[in-house]
Amino acid sequence: MARKPLRLFGHRVHLQTVIAYLLAIAITIVMLLPFAWMLSASLKLDRDVFAFPIEWIPSAPRWQNYVDIWTRIPLALFIYNTTKLTVIVTLLQLFTSSFAAYAFAKLRFAYREVLFLAYIATIAMPWQVYMVPQFLEMRALGLNNTHLALICLQAFTAFGVFLMRQFYMSIPDELCEAARIDGMNEYQIWFRIMLPLSKPALSTLTIFTFVSTWNDFLGPLIYLTKTELKTIQIGIRMFITQYSTEYGLIMAASIVSLIPVLIVFLALQRFFVEGIASSGLKG
């Protein structure tokens, strides 16, 4: 016997739909609570951060915390270094991933599938396995303690190639064949046809790359020892070491470090779901 739909605000909805929405709202609230607490703590004195019950909206917000973090450590320099690395790595990964993915998806050459599977198989290998050989290689090349070492190591990504190839596989081959008949070479097809059609996948890859590079801690910790080269994640760690009891300032610095990630995600989020869905249609 079918259940009768409920009426909510004049619309007929099923009970399963109501439960699904309530569950989604509950999970969202649980996920957002730590961020709400961090924002609240960033506007408090240290003695008020762990007060119970929690005062979610401070009665006397301490905005001075957001002023002090710029003078206690060179936060502006750390943000500049992180922005520089993140933008360069993101652009390089978009270029190399889309370029290689086009070759694997639309070109015919010997051992194409074998090479693709071998490259994608590197995703299963943890970075810690080859971390030491990479460090020795960068040191032998004289790139230790430079941003160039991190850029070279992160300019290529097997995940990005996989994501873009799956999207390109969903584009009809007839489109490329027609372009070849019109006299376009492979570079022109990739640039004029494939890239404009792959905005959802490129946006998805941009979000993944930006977030992972911006939040990278271990890489800069290994390769960068000079203060003028450090990124914001290393800077926050240094801040915690120096001011371990000033939780308001630590939370304020953490909030500042989250802002660029939120901006990028909100700017590209409308393409995010579309890119994830379309990248798994065919392959």
Banded model confidence at residue 1, pLDDT cuts 50, 70, 90: very low
Whether 281 has a pLDDT exceeding 50, the answer reads: no
Banded model confidence at residue 88, pLDDT cuts 50, 70, 90: very high
- Structure confidence by residue, pLDDT tens digits, 179-231: 898 888 999 999 998 988 888 889 889 999 999 999 999 889 999 888 889 99
Banded model confidence at residue 72, pLDDT cuts 50, 70, 90: confident
Banded model confidence at residue 8, pLDDT cuts 50, 70, 90: low
Q: Domain check: are 14 and 84 in the same one?
A: no
Angle between helices 75-106 and 232-242 (to 10 degrees): 150
1 inside domain: no
Whether 272 has a pLDDT exceeding 70, the answer reads: no
What does the pLDDT average to over 38-44?
Answer: 87
283 inside domain: no
238 inside domain: yes
Q: Domain check: are 80 and 47 in the same one?
A: no
Structural domain for 47, as ranges: 6-63
Q: Domain check: are 136 and 248 in the same one?
A: yes
Q: Domain check: are 233 and 188 in the same one?
A: yes
What does the pLDDT average to over 70-87?
Answer: 91
What does the alpha-carbon distance between residue 210 and residue 231 come to, in Å, rounded to a whole number? 14
Q: Domain check: are 257 and 132 in the same one?
A: yes
Whether 9 has a pLDDT exceeding 60, the answer reads: no
More confident residue, 237 or 269: 237
Q: Domain check: are 92 and 196 in the same one?
A: yes
170 inside domain: yes
Q: Domain check: are 116 and 56 in the same one?
A: no
Banded model confidence at residue 283, pLDDT cuts 50, 70, 90: very low
Q: Domain check: are 74 and 59 in the same one?
A: no
Residue 220 is inside which H or E element, if any? helix 218-223
- Total domain count, the chain: 2
* Contacting residues for 94 by C-beta, under 8 A, at least 6 apart: 160, 202, 205, 206, 209
What does the pLDDT average to over 249-277?
Answer: 80
Q: Which residues of 240-271 are buried (b: 16+ CB within 10 A; e: fewer)?
A: beebeebbbbbbbbbbbbeebeeebeeebeeb
The residue out of 63, 91, 111 marking a domain boundary is 63
The residue out of 43, 63, 83 marking a domain boundary is 63
Q: Domain check: are 86 and 51 in the same one?
A: no
195 inside domain: yes
Q: Domain check: are 38 and 72 in the same one?
A: no
What does the pLDDT average to over 48-56?
Answer: 80
Q: Tell me if the bond preceding 220 is cis, omega within 30° of 0.
A: no
211 inside domain: yes
The residue out of 17, 37, 63 marking a domain boundary is 63
Banded model confidence at residue 83, pLDDT cuts 50, 70, 90: very high
Mean pLDDT, the chain, rounded, equals 85
Share of the chain above pLDDT 90, in %: 29
Residue type for position 123: I
Q: What is the DSSP letter of 53?
A: S
Residue type for position 141: L
231 inside domain: yes
Q: What is the DSSP letter of 106?
A: H
* CATH code assigned at 120: 1.10.3720.10
- Range with the poorest average pLDDT among 13-22, 69-78, 121-130: 13-22
Q: Domain check: are 111 and 217 in the same one?
A: yes
- Predicted structure pTM score: 0.83
**Whole-number pLDDT of residue 248:** 84
Q: Domain check: are 131 and 184 in the same one?
A: yes
Banded model confidence at residue 7, pLDDT cuts 50, 70, 90: low
- Which runs of E-coded beta strand occur in the chain? 6-8, 11-13
